[in-house]
Amino acid sequence: MEIFGVPTQALFGQLLIGLVNGSFYALLSLGLAVISGLLNIINFTHGAQYMMGAFVSFLLLNKLGIGYWWSLLVVPLLVGATGMVIERTMLSRLYKLDHLYGLLLTFGLALIIQGLFRNEFGSSGQPYRIPPELAGGQNLGFMFLPNYRAWVIVASFFVCLATWYVIERTKLGAYLRAAIENPQLVQAFGINVPRMITLTYGSGVGLAALAGVMAAPIYQVSPQMGADLIIVVFAVVVIGGMGSILGAILTGFGLGVMEGLTKVFYPEASNRRVDRRRRRPGT
Amino acid sequence: MSLRHTLALAGAIGLAAGSAQAQLTNNEIKIGILSDMSSLYTDLAGAGSVLAARMAVEDFGAAAKGLKVEFVSADHQNKADVGSNIARQWYDRDGVDVIVDVPNSAVALAVNTVTREKNKVFLVSGAASSALTGAQCSPNTIHWTYDTWVLANGTGNAIVKTGGDSWFFLTADYAFGHQLEADTEAVVVKNGGKVLGKVRHPLNNQDFSSFLLQAQASKAKIIGLANAGGDTINSIKQASEFGIVKGGQNLAGLLVFLTDIKALGLPTAQGLIFTETYYWDANDASRAFAKRFSEQAPRNNYPTMIHAGVYSSVLHYLKAVEAAGTDDGTKVIAKMKELPTDDPLFGKGTIRADGRKIHSAMLVEVKKPSESKGPRDLHKIRAVIPADQAFRPIDQGDCPLVAKK
């Protein structure tokens, strides 16, 4: 059976692959949507923080022998902490200024971080093995689905759901949203707003790092792994409606699927989904 | 002293200074290393190429011979327009005499044109496209280390002859990938094999799963990777994840470098067959070079064949400048073609009229983890392809510099 000249078998395979890629987009956009929606910071360091997540888990494994499962927990905390330092020492000074300054600062930081990692580890990247529990794969008839990729879909789905729940349905999320709406008033109720903002930025960064840990076994852990992704993820956040958590999640998955389909019908265009003037490598 | 006298004196001094040395512009040789300094080809060329050029100048003994050599280097960002702008600026404003390296065929083809227009010298080590000595050959360019034809011929032949007769190509979508795919397809078809399909992916791609899935569905025995650097690394890594090799299909890495294998690790890369023209552990001279190189290289990397080619080409260039007594582009190139080449890395060789440097090539296989004695012990040499068979015969390239018979 064929649809538009493409065997259905290939089509289903690509849809599933699209879903896997979509989970990464969703996970990354989620962190970005939290930061841009709630804090009004345009966080261009997000791609670099995703890369840091992958590198920190690589270093934990090779220097300290800490494996994948612990990395999922530890790395977001570590990288999130560096994010909080950045927020406290630099970003917090820019809130009164135009958004552009935050954008320039975070973009500069991203270049510096990528440069430092390239200098230290080279551009070819480092290998990270798939954890033995998730090695191998399932033959679904129409395709071979590696277990690890299936895990990525499931894990990403639950992380997205949890984040959405915390922000939209809990008291903490309500405080947070109120603090963004009217910081003075919320502060008057005795809530430490600056600390809350720092923690929110930290968790947004932590989400990027978590995506990095999940990406490490699939992609080569290399300094420029986040540089290209950031443009896609920004597009996702904008399409999803700046700051809408649910919008970012849905768009992320949707974009992954769309990209998968493009790769079947017109592969050359697969990296030109959203923006015609996308960065080429090295810029 | 009147202004006229001053000017006359200044002119005389200028003339005297000019004649003291051979006819070199600015009394020096300025080497421009144009490479990928920040993206997917950085490790296999990049800063290592700058180092290799410096080592060649050192070994030539330029300082002792009174020859002043300067270096500049720049990042072409894998963009042809950026590369040709830098080349123009170097030639016009900065007095650069020779550009070396230039990984990325699209950039190299652009620099090839600029160099010819400005009558300078272009020594290609990093780029692969065989068009540089074919339809686009130039009296100002020498293609040194390898090209797509060598890779296609070496790897393609070996694989088709051992039963890999149906192919699917995963091709980087720019000048290099297209040429490598075309050259390999010709070899496959010539040997009685067939090409079942191909898919073009964007340069510097991260996720290859959809492409690999298409390759898997094609049921081709061999999946030919017509890409390089980070793209090859990610395709091999993800092919292993999708159980491609376990499913009975094999990968043919058409352009693979030492740094790629190091980055992948032997458990993933073992058994991969490919062609290269320099391997550090081939003989005493290559080992000595690799040791010296790695002592100064970033992260103590060992040299790739591109680094070896930069060293060898710069060394021969300086010999030719010395012999010709000039740095005029076409004259130096003519001298380079006239002199036989001889260096510790590629041995004795020649340069053909179409600008093709001729030496032997090697078919290598990536070792099993159990066979490797150290972190750099990665390849074993399966066969040596003699110099007279390694490269495309001169009459098949359609180079306008070569008289048709």
For chain B, which residues make up each domain, given as ranges?
24-146+283-359, 149-276+361-390
Token pair, residue A31, equals 């962190």
**Rounded Cα–Cα distance for residues A216 and A56 (Å):** 10
B6 pLDDT more than 60: no
Tokens of B356: 């093709």
| Average pLDDT for B362-383 | 92
Provide, rounded to the nearest whole percent, the portion of chain A with pLDDT above 70. Answer: 91
Adjacent-strand bridge partners of A145:
A138
Mutate to test the interface with B, among A17, A113, A123, A233 (most CBs of B within 10 A): A123
Q: Which residue's structure tokens are 């010819």?
A: B116
Residue B14: pLDDT band with limits 50, 70, 90: very low
Q: Which of A125-139, A157-171, B85-99 has the highest mean pLDDT?
A: B85-99
Provide the pLDDT confidence category of residue B9 given band limits of 50, 70 and 90: low
The closest CB to that of A127, out of B229, B238, B264, belongs to B264
Residue A54 pLDDT: 95
Question: Does the pLDDT value for residue A73 go beyond 80?
Answer: yes
Question: What is the DSSP code string of chain A?
Answer: -EETTEEHHHHHHHHHHHHHHHHHHHHHHHHHHHHHHHH----TTHHHHHHHHHHHHHHIIIII---HHHHHHHHHHHHHHHHHHHHHHTGGGGTTS-HHHHHHHHHHHHHHHHHHHHHHH-SS-B--PPPGGG-SEEE-SS-EEEHHHHHHHHHHHHHHHHHHHHHHHSHHHHHHHHHHH-HHHHHHTT--HHHHHHHHHHHHHHHHHHHHHHHTTTS-B-TTTTTTHHHHHHHHHHHT-TT-HHHHHHHHHHHHHHHHHHHHH-GGGTT-SS-TTPPPTT-
Instruction: Tell me which chain A residues have a C-beta less than 8 angstroms from the C-beta of B238.
Output: 218
Residue B15 pLDDT exceeds 90: no
Chain mean pLDDT for chain B: 90
Give the list of residues 6+ apart from residue B248 with CB closer than 8 angstroms, or none. B221
CATH number of this structure's domain B24-146+283-359, picked from the four choices 3.40.640.10, 1.10.3720.10, 3.90.1150.10, 3.40.50.2300: 3.40.50.2300
Statement: residue B11 has pLDDT above 70: no
Nearest CB among B78, B216, B299 relative to A122 is that of: B299
Give the predicted TM-score (pTM) of the model.
Answer: 0.86
C-alpha A25/C-alpha A243 separation (Å) is: 15
Q: What is the pLDDT of residue B188?
A: 95
DSSP B192: T
Tokens of A81: 């902490």
- A271 pLDDT higher than 80: no
Question: Cβ of A220 under 8 Å from any chain B Cβ?
Answer: yes
User: What's the average model confidence in pLDDT over B20-40?
Assistant: 83
Range with the poorest average pLDDT among A191-205, A263-277, B47-61, B118-132:
A263-277
* Averaged pLDDT of chain A: 85
Q: Return the residue matching tokens 């935050």.
A: A102
Is pLDDT above 90 for B27? Answer: no
Residue B170 banded pLDDT, cuts 50, 70, 90: very high
Chain B residues with CB-CB distance to A130 below 8 A: 241
CA closest to A259 among chain B residues? B210
Cα gap A153→A138, rounded to integer Å: 15
User: What pLDDT is stored for residue A268 in this prediction?
Assistant: 66
A-chain residues within 8 Å CB-CB of B230?
123-125, 220, 222, 224
- Residues B289-321: tens digit of each pLDDT: 999 999 999 889 999 999 999 999 999 999 999
Exposed/middle/buried for A141, CB within 10 Å: 0-12, 13-18, 19+? exposed
Mutate to test the interface with B, among A124, A149, A152, A283 (most CBs of B within 10 A): A124
List beta partners, residue B72: B32
Chain B residue with the nearest C-alpha to that of A135: B241
Q: Is A149 on the interface with B (CB under 8 A)?
A: yes
- Describe the strand order of the beta sheet including B141-143 as a list of residue ranges: B69-75, B29-35, B98-101, B121-124, B141-143
> Are B349 and B387 a contacting pair, CB within 8 Å?
yes
Give the DSSP H/E element, type plus range, for residue B394. Answer: none
For Cα atoms A232, A236, A239, give the angle at the middle one, nearest 5 degrees.
130
State the pLDDT at residue B311: 96
Position A126 pLDDT exceeds 70 = yes
Sign, CA dihedral B17-B20-B24-B30, equals: negative
Residue linked to tokens 């990536």: B366
pLDDT at residue B8 is higher than 80 = no
Amino acid present at A228: D
Q: Which residue of B has its CA nearest to A145?
A: B242
- Pick A218's closest partner by Cβ from B233, B238, B262: B238
Choose the weakest-confidence range: A255-269, B4-18, B144-158, B186-200: B4-18
Q: Is residue B79 predicted with pLDDT exceeding 80?
A: yes
Q: Are B222 and B166 in contact (CB under 8 A)?
A: yes
B281 touches chain A (CB under 8 A): no
Q: Cα Rg for chain A, rounded, in angstroms? A: 19
Contacts of A82 (CB under 8 A, 6+ apart): A49, A52, A205
Nearest to residue B297, comparing CAs of B128, B76, B83, B46?
A: B46
State whether residue B375 sits within 8 Å of chain A by CB: no
**B66 Cα distance to chain centroid:** 30
CATH number of A11-130+146-269: 1.10.3470
Distance in angstroms (rounded) separating the CA atoms of residues B222 and B159? 8
* Distance, CA of B249 to CA of B213 (rounded, Å): 12
pLDDT in tens, B264-274: 999 889 889 99
Give the pLDDT band of residue B22 (cuts 50, 70, 90).
low
**H and E: helices and strands count for chain B:** 15, 15
- The phi and psi torsions of A202 (rounded to 5 degrees) equal -60, -40
Query: Rounded to whole angstroms, how far apart are CA atoms A139 and A209?
Result: 31
Percentage of the residues of chain B whose pLDDT score is greater than 70: 94
- CATH architecture of the region B149-276+361-390: 3-Layer(aba) Sandwich (3.40)
* Span B123-141, average pLDDT: 94
Residue with tokens 């996308």: A278
A residues 123..142 contacting B (CB < 8 A): 123-127, 129-130, 136-137
Interface of B with A in 227-256 (CB under 8 A): 229-230, 233-234, 237-238, 241-243, 247
Q: How far, in Å, are B57, B275, B344 from residue B360 at the CA level?
A: 24, 11, 13
pLDDT of A2 > 80? The answer is no
Split at pLDDT 50, 70, 90, the class of B248 is: confident
A250 CB near a chain B CB, below 8 Å? no
- Nearest CB to A127; choose among B77, B229, B265: B265
Per-residue confidence at B36, pLDDT binned at 50, 70, 90?
A: very high
Check if A9 contacts B (Cβ < 8 Å): yes
Structure-token pair, residue B111: 């620099």
Of A9, A123, A271, the CB nearest to B230: A123
The amino acid at residue A221 is V
B360 part of contact set with chain A, CB < 8 Å: no
With cut-offs at 50, 70 and 90, classify the pLDDT of residue A124: confident
pLDDT of B24 reads 82
pLDDT at A129 over 50: yes
High-pLDDT (> 90) share of chain B, %: 76
pLDDT of residue A96: 83
DSSP annotation of B340: P
Task: Note the pLDDT tens digit of each residue in B387-397.
Answer: 999 999 999 98
Mean pLDDT of B120-124: 96
Contact (CB, 8 A) for B31 and B69: yes
The answer to whether residue B268 neighbours chain A at the CB level (below 8 Å) is yes
CA distance A283 to chain B (A): 6
Chain B residues with beta carbon closer than 8 angstroms to that of A121: 299
The pair of structure tokens assigned to A68 is 């994948």
pLDDT reported for residue A155: 93
In b/e form, how buried is each residue of B165-177, taking b as 16+ CB within 10 angstroms?
A: bbbbbbbbbbbbb
Helices (H), B325-392: 329-338, 387-390
A255-274 burial, b if ≥16 CB within 10 A, otherwise e? Answer: bbbbbbbbbbeebeebbeeb
